[in-house]
Amino acid sequence: MDTDIALVAHPAEPPPMPYSATPIPESPNGWAAVGMLVLYFLLQAFVGAVIAAMVGLGVLLVDHTQPAAEIMRTIKALMARPNINVLLVAGALGGATAIMWWLVRSRWPQLWRRATVPGFGLAAPRDTSFYAIAVAAGIALPIIGGMLTQFLAQGHHVPQDIKQLGANASLAAKFVLMIVAIAIAPLIEELLFRGVLLSAWLKRLNVGWAVACTSLVFALVHLPDLKFLWYGLPNLAMLGAAFAWLRLKSNSLWPAVIAHGMNNLVTTVAWFFTMQSAT
């Protein structure tokens, strides 16, 4: 009897794959985040220059028969008009915002809607009550911050670029300026400061230091609007910290955007009301 039995070798089953959570997307590094901020302000200058050049070209096409010196005087007079200045600023900010929005979303698509950091939080908050908290904070912060700034200023005048920009503008131009202040500026600034920059610095710093550093940078960036007067710095830093708190606690960027917009709304309405009373 043949005892040789052909043994068929069955391949061993592969071991079960260990469970692994979805990998966390890589957050931006510090240099990339700072670079985005610098690029944003450079883009404002570039887009503003392009718009001004287009206005000048329009004048040149209309008055091309005039001497060059006369054309230059016409362009300078046109650019000095308050309404033109407002539209120039609005166009520069709107154009820079659109470009930066596209750049950030293209550069870090996985972080765009991610709720927790690293992530930019373009998603609904974990609790809708944060919308109400954001509105309340946006109303209270300019009042508290204004009192703090006035106390530190000790009676000195506190200039504001936006207030001076809209001082002699028409009602329609003031409305455009308010739209920029309460909608466009908060949207892009929160994306850059509480989205990109905060996510980058949380890689190396604990939450407290990351919030403090981003709030300080936020304040320093806005200090030129106050003619570099130091007593505007604490209010601006307080705003940055409040917006960062909303971003982190709500797991969403939108409450910070809403609070920022409400803060700017209260402030601009107060400025324009004061200007109307003075006229």
Reported as a single tens digit per residue, the pLDDT across 21-55 is 556 677 789 899 999 999 999 999 999 999 988 88
Provide the CA 68 distance to its chain's centre, in angstroms.
Answer: 40
**Structure letter (DSSP) for residue 195:** I
Q: What is residue 260's three-state secondary structure? A: helix
Band the pLDDT of 194: cuts 50, 70, 90. very high
**How many residues would you count in the chain?**
279
Residue 254 confidence (pLDDT) above 70: yes
The pLDDT, as a whole number, for residue 175 is 87
Q: Which residue type occupies 244?
A: A
The pLDDT, as a whole number, for residue 19 is 44
| Whether this model's pTM surpasses 0.75 | yes
Mean pLDDT of the chain: 86
Reported as a single tens digit per residue, the pLDDT across 223-249 is 888 788 888 899 999 999 999 999 999
The pLDDT, as a whole number, for residue 111 is 95
How far apart (Å, rounded) are the C-alpha atoms in residues 191 and 104? Answer: 9
